[in-house]
Structure 1
Amino acid sequence: MADTKQRLVFSIIEFLNHSIEDGTVKADDKESLEVAIQCIGEAFGVDPTDTEQAAQLSTKPATLKNIFDVFIKTREKTKASGATSAPESAESSAASSSSKPKAPSPAVKAEAEKLKQKGNSLMTSKKYDEAIQMYTDAVALDPTNPVYFSNRAAAHASKGDHLSAIGDAEEAISIDPNFVKAYSRLGHAQFSIGDYAASVSAFERGLALEPTNANLKAGLQNAKARVASESRSATQERSAAATTTPPAGTDSARGANNLNDILSSMGNLAGAGGPGGGGMPDLASLMSNPAIMQMASQLASNGGLDSLMQDPNIANMAARFQNGDMPSQDEIRNLGQRFGGGFGGAGGA
């Protein structure tokens, strides 16, 4: 399952790139925005040029702006419904009721029905944009009929605009909470944008009204299967991530201990006054010691030597060594203490 944060970041990058292309952003700001896009992508591990990753993270046909528009509309509806549910005075109640769409006259209703029928015919011919216009005209005449919103939701879905379909389906439900077909439209649209949990909820709400509806049952079964699949994928991803972390006791985890062993041996040889001059350990003795060579080989294989050479003190000591300046016994002992050895010369206190 694609990471939600990465999907959001990918949508933001798409929006910003589109803003550059359509001229929304001034030419003077283009370079700065491109740098910002690159920084955002790197921070969240999102590369819009990676076609495989783009396929996983894309929300098409929905765009970030579409999603945000639906959120704003939904929030406004929620606020409006919350405000009307509060106790009202007689004056405010009258004002509220007057703001609700009034039922049209029979003649207007008949005209709206004709528009709906035209829309249905256009849907059969797959002329979805024209059908949407017919349903929109019908809604303008009779906004109290949930069928017009539901049919328009179907037309939006047919052309891949599932966010608009969600908006119309929810509008139909708000007009008539018992209109079962709207729950089916809503569930299928939410399924199409990958919001499987919301899809399950929509189908279940519809089935609560009509338990034998075959379309709702099939939709619910598919949505639940996707939710279960996403859950399994998430579990597998967590398991895979856990196995990539080297457990304690592996070669990588033992790198510091191996280093400490090597330095300890060098310190012991130095403290014992080995054959090397000036208290310096005899390198020939070290190189002929199989245990030391094995530990050095392990460090090389698990990347420990690379990490070691990143230490500025180690790098400085290596440079001096190349110039014939041997490190002193105290330097070796201090180096060992830094890596947890705390060793000294042979036969300590």
Structure 2
Amino acid sequence: MADARKKQLAFNIIDFLRTSQRDGTVKEDESESLDIAIEVISSAFGVDLESADDVAQYSIKPASLLSLLDVLAKTKSKATSTGAGAGAAPAAPAASGPTEEDKTKADALKTKGNGLMSQKEYNQAIQQYTEAIKLNPNPVYYSNRAAAYGALNQHDKAVEDAARAIDLDPQFAKGYSRLGHAQFSLGEFQKAIDAYEAGLKLDPANNNMKSSLATAKLRLGEQAPATERSASPSAPAAGGGMPDLSSLASMLGGAGGGAGGAGGMPDLSEMMRNPQMMAMAQQMMANGGLERLMSNPNIRQMAENMQSGGGMPDFNQLASDPALREMAQQFMGGQGGAGGR
């Protein structure tokens, strides 16, 4: 059985042969011979280019055998030209990195991932960003993948990717925004505050981060026991009650009826003639709820998805969001209106 170093060499030889087939280095009528060679090498050394474990253990990307060969040739040439004089320090190998071809392919994968994000195909978008990262570990690609993980509520992974983006480029303000959003979604409000504040030092005019920071500070202050919040004199005494969020979903075009049909764009003029909707809107404006609602990172992300072509959100899903229910209770009073919980 071949040792790990030989397996790694065999794995990357196979990767080089596969790349040569894809980029046109090898003519199509000769490609079949390479397939046979790939199969023989793979079997002899016990490696598989499609195995995630083998990729993690043996792949040298974003470098390649060709880039390493270039480094060796340059090092050898420099050593020859300087001679072998006494006390001469050996030439340091040049830093390897993605080629221009790798960067072009990675950017195309990123663009495809962005398109899949707008279609809410988040798992497929993650695959595209992952392939782009293999070719060119770029902070933007990690940031975009963090957004995709966040859309799937995989916020731990989003934190990892956002942190990686910041490691690669500490001046990348968007990375701090992604990190803050992921930590906010995990309920780690102090960490979210720290991330937003770091991002605002780099981008002081970023209003989205300012709003998110304010919301995170608000949520941190609301982590007192529920009994203390219910006894707070700041809660409105009027019997506005908790609105029926399921009914609101229907009014806004969610599944089960309402203006616009299932998932469609609501008829705003019809909504504003609805007495319940008007009462809710008046209460929210009177209590400052509308401003706070629009500063919530989850609402902002929903708006960004809509602007990028993602379509109308699932209002039934919004209605089941505990954070939004809590906001509604605070804005309109927790007296237990119809459907309130």
TM-score of the alignment, normalized to the shorter chain, above 0.5: no
For the pair shown, the structure with the greater C-alpha radius of gyration is: 1
Normalising by structure 1, what TM-score? 0.38
* Higher helix proportion: 1
